[in-house]
Homo-oligomer: A and B are copies of this chain.
Amino acid sequence: MAETALPTALCVLGLGLIGGSLVRAAGAHIPVFGWSPSEDTRRAAARDGCDVSDTVESALGRAAASDALVVLASPVTTFPDLLRTIDETAPTVRLTDVAGVKSVVEDDVAALAPQTRFIGSHPMAGTASSGWSAGSADVFAGAAWVTCLTDDSAVEDWAVVAALALAVGSRVVPADPSAHDAAVARISHLPHLLALALAQVGEGGGSLALALAASSFADGTRVAGTRPELIRAMCETNREELIGALDDALGLLGVARGSLASTGSLAKITEGGHRARHAFDHRGDELQPTTLRGDDMIEQLLAVGAAGGHVTGIARDGQGLAVQAWYPDEL
C-alpha cells in the first residue's frame, strides 16, 4: 500500500475562518496558494506567509497549470459568480467547496461549471469566530468532514478531496448531498432555532429569570450568541430541510403540550428524548475497522456514511483503490 491521493497543490478561494485554516493546515503537506476578494485580507494573509494571488483569474490559471484542487471557501451566495469565472478560466479544474449546504452547490456546479471535477464537501469545524486572523491549522482535527458522492461522481476525484481531509486530521464521512442537508438541518440548524427561541423566552421572564438561569439555560442558548448573519446564511440556504426538521420538533412539542395540559404527564417526551440522547452518547460504539475495495466503491462509501461510519485511510495497491473505514458491520 502506498501512493496517497493528495492533490498536487491547493488553491483556496476565500481566506476567512475555514479557508484561512485550510491554508495553514494543508500547507504542512502540499503547496498551497490562495485568493480573497478583500485586499485587506490578501495583505494580512501575505504578511503571515501565505502565497496569495492578486486576482481570482491568476489563481485559477495557476490551479489549472498545476492540477491543483480549487476550494470554494467563501459564502455560498458568492459561488455562482465564482463558478462562472472558473468555467471561463479553468473549466476542467479539480474543485471542492466547504459550504454548510450541499444540494444547492451541487446544482450550481452542474449548471455553471459542469466540466469541473467536482466533489462537494463540508468540514464541520467551528464557525463562531470569523476572518483570516481567526484561522488555525488545528480546527479540522477530530472533526467530521463530509465528502459528497452521487451516482455521477468519480471515485478518483473523491479520493483527492478525502485525502486532503484526512491529512488535516478530520474523519471523512461520505454522504449523498441531500442526506447531508437533511442531517445538518436536524443536528445543526434546528439547534440554532431552538436556542434563539429559548433565549427570548428566558429574557421574557425578566431580570429574575435571567438571574436564576443556570447551566440548562446557558447550554441551551449558547449558539444563540453566534452572529445573526452566520446563522441566517446556514439556515436560510437549507430552507426545505430545516422546515421539515422544525415541523418534527413542533410536532413533538405540541404533543407534549397537549399531554401536559390534559393528563399532566410528560412521560412520552421525557422517555423518548432520554432514549434519543442515549443513542447520541453511544453513537459509533459498534464501529469496527474494515477495508473497502471493488467496483461498487461509491455504493460502499455511501453505506459507510449512512451507517454512521467514516473513512480513515486511502491507499492504492496492485488491486486498485483500498479504503480503510470504520463501519458497524462487514459490508
Interface residues of A (CB under 8 A from B): 124, 126, 143-144, 146, 173, 175, 179-180, 182-184, 186-188, 190-228, 231-232, 235-236, 239, 242-243, 245-250, 252-254, 256-257, 260-261, 264-267, 269-281, 283-284, 305-310, 328
Contacts and interface: CB of A to CB of B under 8 A. Distances in A.
A208 to B, nearest CB: 5
Given A201-B190, A214-B124, A243 B224 contact: no
Contacts of A180: 208, 212
Given A214-B143, A220-B194, A199 B273 contact: yes
B124 A196 contact: no
Contacts of A173: 208, 211-212
A210 B278 CA distance: 11
A212 B184 contact: yes
Nearest to A204: B248
A197 B260 contact: no
A253 B308 contact: no
A182 B209 CA distance: 8
B197 A252 contact: yes
Nearest to A207: B308
Nearest 8 CB-CB pairs, A to B? A196-B273, A207-B308, A199-B276, A203-B276, A224-B277, A183-B209, A187-B213, A228-B270
Nearest to A309: B211
Contacts of A217: 187-188, 191, 280
Nearest to A271: B228
Residue of A195, A223, A227, A231 contacting most chain B CB atoms (<10 Å): A195
Given A183-B209, A205-B187, A223 B232 contact: no
Contact of A269 (B193, B212, B266, B309): B193
A280 B213 contact: yes
A306 B207 CA distance: 6
Contacts of A250: 250, 253-254, 257
A225 B274 contact: yes
Given A193-B253, A210-B279, A243-B261, A187 B175 contact: no
29 contacts: A146-B212, A173-B211, A182-B209, A183-B212, A186-B204, A187-B209, A188-B212, A188-B213, A193-B256, A194-B194, A199-B274, A200-B248, A200-B272, A200-B273, A201-B249, A204-B248, A205-B245, A207-B308, A211-B310, A213-B280, A219-B219, A224-B274, A224-B277, A232-B266, A235-B270, A243-B261, A246-B260, A249-B253, A250-B253
